[in-house]
Structure formats: structure tokens, C-alpha cells
């Protein structure tokens, strides 16, 4: 009887494990399988197993290399800027002052908005003829005529960066503020007594406590920004002339717009491999999860 009861927990877990396999393992496995096939909605009779042809095509595809470079620029600029501004705001909001709660609520508001709504708000601000940004800059005398911010190849990319920055900063602020609030106040007082300034307190007191959170949030934002498509698709669609086409956007356009699921799946596998290597390397180099030696 005891022997049989040992297997009861595993039997109770079986429905959950089966659901996880259906929702996670099967879709991932299907993407890998489809990447070795030609799967096109507009030519179903030509769908067949083609081996490594999709992968060979990827590495000779100029749009892929441009999308990969755009992804690198997008992720680096977004994560670095969000981390710097997020840490700065977290340090400010850590201090107690009148109206602190209201400022925190306002700061966290962009994170609560959906990507489609954020895209709509920034699209209205970026409108060439009736957008508030052009109107404000013209009144200040900074520009002489209206600029198509998301339609100009010289401004489209950085216009998207600013819009995504506004949405992404609260995530870093929330996580880092929560981590900063765990730092004992006595350590700050001891640092002040030893003559340590603001930078010394940040480096020797705050940073050791927030290091694990900083590494984790940076990794999560890297993955999310690498896979970000909603803002880019809604504001530029990857244009003009692929200047804002990241790898995730190229993948989405290939599968959704062109109906080429085979090539899109191969792009998804390449993206997965890139993220896997980046995540493993980052965690290894940062020493995440390892206790600092005292």
C-alpha cells in the first residue's frame, strides 16, 4: 500500500504536465519541424520537406543581416537607456518626500498600458501635419517645417527608441526600487560617517544589494526587446526601407503578411539560438546566482 501511495503525487501531476507539453513543448517542436519544410499559404501544393534550404537562404538574405543589425542596435540602446533612467528614477523615488506616492503612480502608468494603446498615443504625437511634437518644435523654433518622424529613414529608428523607452523605464524603476528598499539604512549611515558621498553609497552599499535584480531585469528586458514587435509594427511596419525591421519584425512579416511559415519558422529557430547563447553567456559573465566572497 505504501509503495502505491508513492506514485499518487506523480499521477496527480500528470494532467498539468500533459497541459504544459501541449502548450509549450509541442508548439516549439512544431516550429523546429516546420523550419525544415516549405510551408506557404498561397502555394499549399508545393509544401514539402526541403531540409536545410531555409537556413541556407537565411544566411544569404541581405534583409536578414540588416534585421539582425537593427535588432542589435534596438536591444542595446533600449536596455542601456532604460536601465540608466530606471535606476536614476528608482534612486529618486526611494527618498521620502511630499507627493512621493503620486509620482510613483504616474511613473508606473506607462507600464500598465497595452502596446497597441502606446503605439496609438505616440503615432498621434508623431503625425507630420497635426502631431503635437511637430507643433511644439516649430513654436520653439527648433525646426522650420514638419518632419515625418516615423516615415523618414533618418529619424524613424530613434523615434521608435524614444517611444519604447517611455514604456520600458517603469519596469526597471519598479524592480530596482523594490530591491533598493531592502538595503539597511544603517549601511548608508555608516558610509556617510566614513565620508562617503552619493557615488560611494551607490557603489559600495546599493549596488551589491541590487546586483542580482539588475542582472535579472537586464536579461528579461533584453529578451523582451529582442522579441518586441507591437510598437514597431504599429508605428512603421518595419519601414522605411527596412530601417526599423528587427529580426522579430522580419519574422512576423514573413509569416503573417507573406504566409511563408517555413522560412518564418527557420527565422524563429535562429532567433531562439541567438537568445539562448546571449542569455547563457550573460549569466555566466555576470556571475548571476553566485554569492560574492566577503
Q: What is the mean pLDDT of residues 243-258?
A: 92
User: Is 0.85 topped by the overall pTM?
Assistant: yes
| pLDDT for residue 92 | 87
| pLDDT for residue 222 | 93
Q: How far apart are CA 285 and CA 162, in angstroms?
A: 29
Q: What is the mean pLDDT of residues 254-269?
A: 92
DSSP reduced 3-state for 48:
strand
pLDDT tens column, 82-124: 999 999 999 888 887 777 778 888 888 888 888 888 999 999 9
Closest CA to 218 of 160, 258, 185, 176: 176
With a pLDDT cut of 90, the percent of the chain lying above it is 51
Sketch the domain layout of the chain as residue ranges.
63-286
pLDDT tens column, 208-236: 888 888 998 999 999 999 999 999 999 99
CATH number corresponding to 63-286: 1.10.3720.10
Extract the runs of DSSP E, i.e. beta strands, from the chain: 37-38, 48-49
Angle, helices 207-226 vs 62-94, to 10°: value is 150
Confidence grade of residue 294 (pLDDT, cut at 50, 70, 90): very low
Amino acid at each position: 500500500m505504501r509503495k502505491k501511495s508513492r506514485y499518487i503525487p506523480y499521477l496527480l501531476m500528470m494532467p498539468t504536465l500533459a497541459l504544459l507539453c501541449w502548450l509549450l513543448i509541442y508548439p516549439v517542436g512544431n516550429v523546429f519541424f516546420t523550419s525544415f519544410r516549405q510551408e506557404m499559404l498561397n502555394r499549399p501544393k508545393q509544401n514539402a520537406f526541403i531540409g536545410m534550404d531555409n537556413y541556407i537562404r537565411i544566411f544569404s538574405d541581405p534583409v536578414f543581416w540588416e534585421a539582425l543589425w537593427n535588432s542589435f542596435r534596438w536591444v542595446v540602446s533600449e536596455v542601456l537607456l532604460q536601465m540608466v533612467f530606471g535606476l536614476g528614477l528608482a534612486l529618486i523615488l526611494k527618498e521620502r518626500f511630499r507627493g512621493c506616492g503620486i509620482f510613483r503612480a504616474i511613473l508606473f502608468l506607462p507600464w500598465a498600458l497595452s502596446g497597441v494603446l502606446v503605439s496609438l498615443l505616440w503615432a498621434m504625437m508623431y503625425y507630420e501635419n497635426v502631431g503635437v511634437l511637430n507643433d511644439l518644435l516649430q513654436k520653439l523654433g527648433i525646426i522650420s517645417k514638419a518632419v515625418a518622424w516615423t516615415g523618414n529613414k533618418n529619424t524613424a529608428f530613434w523615434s521608435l527608441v524614444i517611444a519604447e523607452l517611455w514604456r520600458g523605464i517603469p519596469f526597471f524603476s519598479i524592480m530596482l526600487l523594490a530591491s533598493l528598499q531592502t538595503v539597511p539604512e544603517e549601511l548608508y549611515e555608516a558610509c556617510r560617517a566614513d565620508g562617503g558621498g552619493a557615488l560611494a553609497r551607490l557603489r559600495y552599499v546599493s549596488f551589491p544589494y541590487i546586483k542580482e535584480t539588475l542582472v535579472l531585469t537586464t536579461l528579461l528586458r533584453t529578451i523582451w526587446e529582442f522579441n518586441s514587435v507591437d510598437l514597431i509594427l504599429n508605428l512603421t511596419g518595419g519601414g522605411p526601407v527596412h530601417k526599423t525591421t528587427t529580426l522579430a519584425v522580419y519574422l512576423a512579416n514573413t509569416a503573417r503578411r507573406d504566409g511563408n511559415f517555413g522560412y518564418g519558422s527557420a527565422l524563429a529557430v535562429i532567433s531562439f539560438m541567438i537568445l539562448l547563447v546571449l542569455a547563457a553567456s550573460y549569466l555566466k559573465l555576470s556571475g548571476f546566482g553566485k554569492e560574492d566572497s566577503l
